Amino acid sequence: MINHLTIKVKDFERETAFYEAALAPLGYTKGVAFPGVQQFAHADGSSVFVSTVAADAVIAPMHVAFDAPDTDAVAAFHAVGIANGGTDNGEPGPRPHYGPNYYAAFVHDPEGNNIEAVINS
């Protein structure tokens, strides 16, 4: 299990609002905050940190997949992600080419990171 990860962003306010909305259906809530850093914590002990970098920094887009408790949470993640500045990268649905029980949705955050909510059991 991953304890925490950090997503580097240029537009801290926009990205923090995006992650607060998109991660809520997956059980994450705002945690500690420092200047330029916002934690989103889960009851399982894992955390996601959104951390600002300089506007001229080069950031390689990343892919992060979050476990979802059910298909409703996957759908909510997708809907609120798009409503909060993300773009569709795969509507909620089965992905049999990834596995027989793989169900997911994908959203690019406002800076282009590929964020996924998944059920794979």
Confidence of residue 8 (pLDDT cuts 50, 70, 90): very high
CA dist 64 → 12, 34, 41, 56, 112 (Å): 18, 23, 15, 23, 12
Query: Would you state the pLDDT for residue 1?
Result: 59
For residue 33, is pLDDT > 80? yes
The domain made up of 4-53+62-120 is a member of CATH 3.10.180.10: yes
CB 61 within 8 A of CB 113: yes
| Mean pLDDT calculated for residue range 106-118 | 97
Lateral strand order in the sheet of 37-42: 4-9, 47-52, 37-42, 28-34
| Mean pLDDT calculated for residue range 34-39 | 97
CB 109 within 8 A of CB 15: yes
pTM: 0.94
For residue 5, is pLDDT > 80? yes
For residue 57, is pLDDT > 70? yes
**Percentage of the chain lying above the pLDDT 70 cut:** 99
For residue 89, is pLDDT > 90? yes
Q: Where are the domains of the chain?
A: 4-53+62-120
